[in-house]
Structure 1
Amino acid sequence: MKLAHLPQNALALAAVCLTSLMFGLEISSVPTVLPTLESVLHADFKALQWIMNAYTLACTTVLMATGALADRFGRKRIYVASIVMFAVTSLVCGLAQSAPVLIVSRFLQGMGGGAMLICQVAVLSHQFQQGRERSNAFGAWGIVFGIGLGFGPIIGGMIIAVANWQWVFLIHAPISIVALGLAFGGVQESRDPHAQHLDMPGILTLSLSCFGLVYFITQGSDLGLYSPTALSIVVGTVLSFIAFILVEKRSPRPMFDFSVFRVRSFSGALLGSMGMNFSYWPFMIYLPIYFQGALGYTSVNAGLSLLAYTLPTLVVPPVAERLALRFGARRVIPLGMFTIGMGFMLMKFGAGMEHASWLTMLPGCLLCGTGLGLTNTPVTNTATGSVSSNRAGMASGIDMSARLISLAINIAMMGFILIEGVLSYLTHALPDLAGTSSLRLLAEKIAAGTFAPLTQESAALAAADPHGVLMHAALVHGFGLVMLYGVIGAWTLALLSVVVFGPGARVRRQRTTLDDGVRHPAP
């Protein structure tokens, strides 16, 4: 069947699903090649963190700008431009020959990916507005996104095994060409007639505050937590965030409209967005390190092991949408986050067993993925459905900003906890080396999954621990603390979500639009 004869909405949905596949692959395939990048590009642990965080920070930087630009100049136009940018920057990433160049390239790729992601949600919200049709469209989006996430780890591992790491990025070029054809044929142009300007002060202050916080978490130990430089970063971060709030409060047409938080269904869904990214998503960055470093798996076997963590996101979203329609998102979203927390608890138990393997991790991985599948699409559908369709860009921008800001911060936080956990174990086991720079350097290498000695001091450790038992135990201890952090984050935000959603009747009465202030019944 020719494209011209296909229903326009079907083509639009195909374009959205294909670009969501690329975004999902980019999230889940890159972590499996981080150990390879460490050796090929001579990247240290902090560089590996920044290879991932440059992408998420860039996504956050452009999200609200993209929502405003799409509302003003047209969602189709910005969507097409974002696909082109993602394709070009993916090629640049594939050609990078050093860690700093790859980090910069990943930032540029993140700008394209973030813009592409926000447009996906805006396009779906505009072209699928009826209850059942909208639910099916978001369900299909969630399934394809789950395919990218589910098969990304094994694809990344296979690429390393049969080709080279560059193709993890280069693969997006041919996919983007097909997505562009579908977008031109199916996506309807739409815009917000009330959008008049781009809120640059808000964009800059939010971006600076996010970057400052992540930089302090990742670099604070090197700078000295109480050094003038570190304290200046903290002060600048706080001032930037305060300035952001003041700017948005005083703007006649803010990109981040705080009045939306009066809608309890929106605020409850937003806590779900944050909950996923306090736990599930940032841990995906580090789980391949556990499988390869602690369990000794190859990149392919690590990718296969990760399927248990990601494949449930493929099959659960349609079930989640049906559950949300029947029982309400206010029940399904907290349930999903609670399930993620239970999964982390089981993973912590499995990782701490004497003969840990992918089998001991399997129950926790499956439960985490199931919880993510229960949470992901109901969160997006509820957040964008809480406001009028012509403000979908703004609503999805806040939703995705909450996700990616939480993700960027918690990639840094989990890395910090992992290093400090490894370091505390080594300090207790080797009190003579406590407080030395060589021990911290060794802890960073162990956290990256490398047990090779780095200095004369760590060479002495290698002589005392020829089989790496102590270093292995330090890595497992660090990961145990990271998993505990995942439990606390998921369960805390699940509880807050229950409180904010409140009783169903109150959610329905407080459903409002941001444009006219008129109360409408919930769908």
Structure 2
Amino acid sequence: MTASPVAAGSRPSRSVLLTVTCLGQFMVLLDNTIVGAALPDMQHRLHTQLTGLQWIVDAYVLLVAMLLLSGGVFADRFGRKRVYLTGVAVFTAASLVCSLAPSVGWLIVGRVLQGVGAAALAPASLALLAAAHPVPQDRMKAIGLWAGFSGIGLAAGPVAGGVLTEAFGWPAIFLVNLPIGVVLLLVGLRHLGESRNPSAPTIDIPGTVLSVLVVGALTYGLIEGGARGWTSPVILGSFAAAVILLAAFVAVEARRSAPMLPLRLFGQRLFTVSNIAMVVVGFALMGSSFFFSQFFVYVQGSSILRAGLQTLPLSLAMVIVSPYAGRIAARYGFRILVTTGLALAGLGLLALGTVHADTGYGNVWWRLGAVGIGFALTLSPLTAAAIQAVSPQEGGLASGISSTTRQIGAVLGVAVLGAIVRARQSGGASLETGLDSAFLAAGAVTLSAAVLTGLWLARSEPAKGSAAPRRSADPGAVTTSDEATANSR
């Protein structure tokens, strides 16, 4: 990574830089979990059904997934400060749009804009931090502090969402971003220094557009299929379009000199298996998390605030365990830890599928904790495995792809598990039965991934003398080389 020189007198204070980048990523991660707590209130006040709630979540995740890699390239090419502050501005303005949305349609528009802002903010945040710390040891310490603080957003989301929604209604969960965004813009404009990488690759516009259209068409069919009918021309057409667009995406990426997704990387078994497993992690984790608050509110009769607190064991387990996963993997290998983590998460989800309306919370919290611990043990090693499968110069790209595949899995998880719930209800089953079926399906898919990794994930160990794994912009990801920072999330 090549940073443009900055005059000594104007060089930003590293403490200010760390604060600004931490707070920006904290805001993005908070938004990932705070929305789930407010879904029941959104459903009530906006008079929407499950399909509308799915779009509220997936509209955001879809844009983040598809623009994440391009956001990192934009930051390196056009200036990390410029892209970071642009992302903050878009995310903040979109949060205002969300809070003022009079209908589900407007809220979805706001969520799309939030996704665009987050896809610029997140990779630029890490790139700024990495450029300001050229010494590897200093960089690792800064990224460790940054990841630990920003990761608190994941744990704070359910509680903050429950408190704000209970007191002021769902718009408050988006208004909380406004003061954070304004402070970031004022401080960032004054104190951040600009840097860029003149040798950054060109933007893969055709690949980016086609990737959005592929996943968008597939997601539309999965979410709307239950409402419109799986055999309706519109739904069949969306699935057909997804297949055609996917073929076009593969053809375009195979011919480009600098594709956003180099297909040759998938010739490495370690890279391929780790990314398949990461899709499953996103699918099961995000797909099941979408229903947690709804289960506690609609099935067990909890208040929105209490439901937010009840989901806390999962996010707390992930925040506490995640920092240690990379170290454990470095000692025992990727295969053992990933397979164990997926198996634990899968069993936890299966256990959640047996929870009923009269099940006491004392017999529920440990199931959520098991899911959180299992996925926490899995995320970092999977990203590290993907990075180790490629050359050091492609470490940042591999980390970004790993985060992107997890986000794609999240989009599909919300869509597919939602379709399962709707199908069960359409057949006359209760919401409780539908949610149990969704949790069981997520658990089965996760256990299948555990078998896959146990059989096919190579026994790869970080090379002796290499840097210890460190956290990337994604709190569930690690990087193992100095180059794997600028475009990762």
TM-score interval, smaller chain:
0.7 to 0.9
Report the 3-state secondary structure (helix = DSSP H, G, I; strand = E; otherwise coil) of the residue aligned with 2:102. Answer: coil
Which segment is superposed worse, 373-382 or 248-257? 373-382
Which segment is superposed worse, 142-151 or 160-169? 142-151
C-alpha distance in structure 2 between counterparts of 1:369 and 1:230, whole Å: 34
Q: Per-residue displacement from partner, 1:98-117 (whole Å, max 9, x unpaired)?
A: 11111111111111112222
Name the amino acid aligned to 1:91.
L
Kindly state the Cα deviation for residue 322 of structure 1 after the two structures are TM-superposed: 2.3
Kindly state the Cα deviation for residue 239 of structure 1 after the two structures are TM-superposed: 0.4
C-alpha distance in structure 2 between counterparts of 1:153 and 1:208, whole Å: 31
User: Do structure 1's residue 86 and structure 2's residue 91 form an aligned pair?
Assistant: yes
Which segment is superposed worse, 380-389 or 271-280? 380-389
Could you say if the C-alpha distance between residues 194 and 101 of structure 1 is closer, same or farther in structure 2, counting changes exceeding 3 Å?
A: closer
C-alpha distance in structure 1 between counterparts of 2:75 and 2:445, whole Å: 33
Name the amino acid aligned to 1:373.
A
User: Do structure 1's residue 20 and structure 2's residue 31 form an aligned pair?
Assistant: no
User: Do structure 1's residue 233 and structure 2's residue 238 form an aligned pair?
Assistant: yes
Residues 139 and 321, structure 1, Cα contact 8 Å, conserved in 2: no
Report the 3-state secondary structure (helix = DSSP H, G, I; strand = E; otherwise coil) of the residue aligned with 2:418. Answer: helix
**Equivalent residue number for residue 319 of structure 2:** 314
Could you say if the C-alpha distance between residues 80 and 496 of structure 1 is closer, same or farther in structure 2, counting changes exceeding 3 Å?
A: farther
Question: Which of 477, 489, 496 does residue 445 from structure 2 map onto?
Answer: 489
Question: Which of 502, 514, 518 does residue 458 from structure 2 map onto?
Answer: 502
Q: How does 1:455-494 map to 2 (within 5 A)?
A: 474-494=430-450
Name the amino acid aligned to 2:238.
I
Q: Per-residue displacement from partner, 1:411-461 (whole Å, max 9, x unpaired)?
A: 0111111111233343xxxxxxxxxxxxxxxxxxxxxxxxxxxxxxxxxxx
Name the amino acid aligned to 2:172.
W
Report the 3-state secondary structure (helix = DSSP H, G, I; strand = E; otherwise coil) of the residue aligned with 1:504. Answer: coil
Q: Gaps (5+ residues) in structure 2?
A: 1-8, 467-479, 483-489
Name the amino acid aligned to 2:81.
K
**Equivalent residue number for residue 379 of structure 2:** 376
**Equivalent residue number for residue 195 of structure 2:** 189
Q: How does 1:45-124 map to 2 (within 5 A)?
A: 45-123=50-128
Which segment is superposed worse, 118-127 or 255-264? 118-127
C-alpha distance in structure 2 between counterparts of 1:421 and 1:218, whole Å: 14
Report the 3-state secondary structure (helix = DSSP H, G, I; strand = E; otherwise coil) of the residue aligned with 2:364. Answer: helix
Question: Which of 419, 424, 427 does residue 421 from structure 1 map onto?
Answer: 424
Question: Which of 22, 31, 36 does residue 41 from structure 2 map onto?
Answer: 36
TM-score when normalising by structure 2: 0.84
Could you say if the C-alpha distance between residues 522 and 75 of structure 1 is closer, same or farther in structure 2, counting changes exceeding 3 Å?
A: closer
Could you say if the C-alpha distance between residues 42 and 323 of structure 1 is closer, same or farther in structure 2, counting changes exceeding 3 Å?
A: same
**Equivalent residue number for residue 304 of structure 1:** 309
Residues 9 and 186, structure 1, Cα contact 8 Å, conserved in 2: no
C-alpha distance in structure 2 between counterparts of 1:88 and 1:177, whole Å: 10
Question: Which of 139, 144, 157 does residue 149 from structure 2 map onto?
Answer: 144
User: Do structure 1's residue 271 and structure 2's residue 227 form an aligned pair?
Assistant: no
Kindly state the Cα deviation for residue 263 of structure 1 after the two structures are TM-superposed: 4.6
Residues 118 and 396, structure 1, Cα contact 8 Å, conserved in 2: no
C-alpha distance in structure 1 between counterparts of 2:379 and 2:294, whole Å: 25
C-alpha distance in structure 1 between counterparts of 2:43 and 2:177, whole Å: 23
**Equivalent residue number for residue 517 of structure 1:** none
**Equivalent residue number for residue 291 of structure 2:** 286
Kindly state the Cα deviation for residue 21 of structure 1 after the two structures are TM-superposed: 1.4
Could you say if the C-alpha distance between residues 420 and 192 of structure 1 is closer, same or farther in structure 2, counting changes exceeding 3 Å?
A: farther
Which segment is superposed worse, 491-500 or 169-178? 491-500
Q: Per-residue displacement from partner, 1:100-153 (whole Å, max 9, x unpaired)?
A: 111111111111112222334545666668776565555444433432121211
Residues 144 and 314, structure 1, Cα contact 8 Å, conserved in 2: no
Kindly state the Cα deviation for residue 178 of structure 1 after the two structures are TM-superposed: 3.6
Kindly state the Cα deviation for residue 209 of structure 1 after the two structures are TM-superposed: 0.9
Could you say if the C-alpha distance between residues 38 and 522 of structure 1 is closer, same or farther in structure 2, counting changes exceeding 3 Å?
A: closer
**Equivalent residue number for residue 367 of structure 1:** 370
Q: Per-residue displacement from partner, 1:267-291 (whole Å, max 9, x unpaired)?
A: 4542343232121122111110000
**Equivalent residue number for residue 470 of structure 2:** none
**Equivalent residue number for residue 463 of structure 1:** none
Name the amino acid aligned to 1:408.
V
User: What is the percent sequence identity of the aligned residues?
Assistant: 29
**Equivalent residue number for residue 247 of structure 2:** 242
User: Do structure 1's residue 161 and structure 2's residue 166 form an aligned pair?
Assistant: yes
Residues 202 and 255, structure 1, Cα contact 8 Å, conserved in 2: yes
C-alpha distance in structure 1 between counterparts of 2:181 and 2:391, whole Å: 30
Q: Per-residue displacement from partner, 1:330-370 (whole Å, max 9, x unpaired)?
A: 43333322221122122223x04x73132221111011111
Could you say if the C-alpha distance between residues 476 and 410 of structure 1 is closer, same or farther in structure 2, counting changes exceeding 3 Å?
A: same
Report the 3-state secondary structure (helix = DSSP H, G, I; strand = E; otherwise coil) of the residue aligned with 1:278. Answer: helix
**Equivalent residue number for residue 208 of structure 1:** 213
Residues 339 and 368, structure 1, Cα contact 8 Å, conserved in 2: yes
Q: Gaps (5+ residues) in structure 1?
A: 427-473, 512-520
C-alpha distance in structure 2 between counterparts of 1:199 and 1:168, whole Å: 34
Kindly state the Cα deviation for residue 188 of structure 1 after the two structures are TM-superposed: 6.3
Q: Per-residue displacement from partner, 1:191-221 (whole Å, max 9, x unpaired)?
A: 26051x3212111211111011111111123
Residues 275 and 337, structure 1, Cα contact 8 Å, conserved in 2: no
C-alpha distance in structure 2 between counterparts of 1:170 and 1:372, whole Å: 30
TM-score when normalising by structure 1: 0.79
Give the paired residue count: 459
C-alpha distance in structure 1 between counterparts of 2:23 and 2:225, whole Å: 39
Which segment is superposed worse, 19-28 or 368-377? 368-377
The structure whose Rg is larger is 1
C-alpha distance in structure 2 between counterparts of 1:343 and 1:128, whole Å: 40
**Equivalent residue number for residue 403 of structure 1:** 406
Kindly state the Cα deviation for residue 388 of structure 1 after the two structures are TM-superposed: 6.2
Report the 3-state secondary structure (helix = DSSP H, G, I; strand = E; otherwise coil) of the residue aligned with 1:230. Answer: helix
Question: Which of 321, 339, 344 does residue 339 from structure 1 map onto?
Answer: 344
Could you say if the C-alpha distance between residues 178 and 154 of structure 1 is closer, same or farther in structure 2, counting changes exceeding 3 Å?
A: same
Could you say if the C-alpha distance between residues 5 and 209 of structure 1 is closer, same or farther in structure 2, counting changes exceeding 3 Å?
A: closer
Kindly state the Cα deviation for residue 261 of structure 1 after the two structures are TM-superposed: 2.8
Which segment is superposed worse, 286-295 or 140-149? 140-149
**Equivalent residue number for residue 475 of structure 2:** none
Which segment is superposed worse, 200-209 or 145-154? 145-154
Residues 334 and 459, structure 2, Cα contact 8 Å, conserved in 1: no
Name the amino acid aligned to 1:419.
R
C-alpha distance in structure 2 between counterparts of 1:208 and 1:51, whole Å: 18
Could you say if the C-alpha distance between residues 134 and 328 of structure 1 is closer, same or farther in structure 2, counting changes exceeding 3 Å?
A: farther
Could you say if the C-alpha distance between residues 257 and 408 of structure 1 is closer, same or farther in structure 2, counting changes exceeding 3 Å?
A: same
Could you say if the C-alpha distance between residues 190 and 97 of structure 1 is closer, same or farther in structure 2, counting changes exceeding 3 Å?
A: same
